[in-house]
Amino acid sequence: MSLPILYSFRRCPYAIRARLALARAGIRCELREVVLRDKPAQMLAISAKGTVPVLQLPDDGRFPETGQVIAESIDIMRWALGQQDPGHWLSGADAKATAALISRNDGEFKWALDRYKYADRYPERSADEYRAMAEPFLQTLEDGLQQGAGLLSPGYSLADAAIFPFIRQFALVDPVWFEACGYAALKQWLSDWLASELFIGVMRKYPQWSLGDGVTLFPGDSL
């Protein structure tokens, strides 16, 4: 039986959230780990934009979208959870609120995060100023977490899995500052995600894929 092929890069937050959804949905894939400075021709042939993740569905009729290539992480998440959604991530929160929160994450917050992380490349402002520009979004998340374990609902939903990898990246820029910050609920939420078997499982290390290599199955047997 043919498997979907997932081109991924372990540390990329977009790839992380795609892997979280695929693993939560129990969609077994062939994983091809990409080194971004040496992208495989096979990936570029199906997705010219050259970014990960990319999911290539088999053309054997196993899925209704036979042979389709999905090259946006949120689309991969929605596709995977549309097959199976045991955690009710798609239905666990209002769809419009979910889309709006993810849009803010991928827009204004990611813009500030990139400049905070690489402040030397953006000397127009200091790292502290870029961090301050990200904080309104952090406060929105902190406020949302007052109602329960999830950003938009009592439990985790699509928004949590889609946003978590970016908050993880933000916290790693200056861990001392993040640990001392006043976002208590957000820090606990991040800690819970980092300690989860799901996250630990999708962060296994794999060697760079090359044509002719054996098949690497994802998720592994530990998930």
- What CATH number is associated with residue 103? 1.20.1050.10
Residue whose structure tokens are 């990329």: 12
- Same domain? 58 vs 79: yes
- Same domain? 194 vs 110: yes
CA 130, 136, 139, 141 torsion-angle sign = negative
The pLDDT value given to residue 61: 81
| H or E, element range at 21 | helix 13-25
Instruction: Answer whether residue 196 shows pLDDT above 80.
Output: yes
Instruction: Calculate what percentage of the chain has a pLDDT beyond 90.
Output: 93
Summarize pLDDT for 199-213 with one digit per residue, the tens. Answer: 999 999 999 999 999
Confidence of residue 151 (pLDDT cuts 50, 70, 90): very high
Instruction: Answer whether residue 12 shows pLDDT above 90.
Output: yes
Distance between CA atoms of residues 47 and 55, nearest Å: 10
The verdict on residue 223 lying in a domain is no
The verdict on residue 172 lying in a domain is yes
Summarize pLDDT for 100-117 with one digit per residue, the tens. Answer: 999 999 999 999 999 999
Q: Are strands 217-218 and 29-33 parallel, antiparallel or unpaired?
A: antiparallel
Three-state DSSP state, 67 = coil
The pLDDT value given to residue 222: 54
Residue whose structure tokens are 């949302």: 144
The pLDDT value given to residue 107: 98
The pLDDT value given to residue 174: 98
Instruction: Answer whether residue 221 shows pLDDT above 80.
Output: no
Summarize pLDDT for 20-65 with one digit per residue, the tens. Answer: 999 999 999 999 999 999 999 999 999 999 999 999 999 888 888 8
- Same domain? 72 vs 109: no
The pLDDT value given to residue 198: 98
The pLDDT value given to residue 63: 86
- Same domain? 213 vs 156: no
* Count: domains in the chain: 2
Mean pLDDT of the chain, nearest integer: 96
Residue whose structure tokens are 């000397």: 123
Summarize the confidence of residues 74-96 as an average pLDDT: 97
Instruction: Answer whether residue 223 shows pLDDT above 70.
Output: no
- Tokens linked to 190: 């991040």
- Same domain? 20 vs 58: yes
The boundaries of the domain holding residue 13 are: 5-87+200-218
The pLDDT value given to residue 203: 98
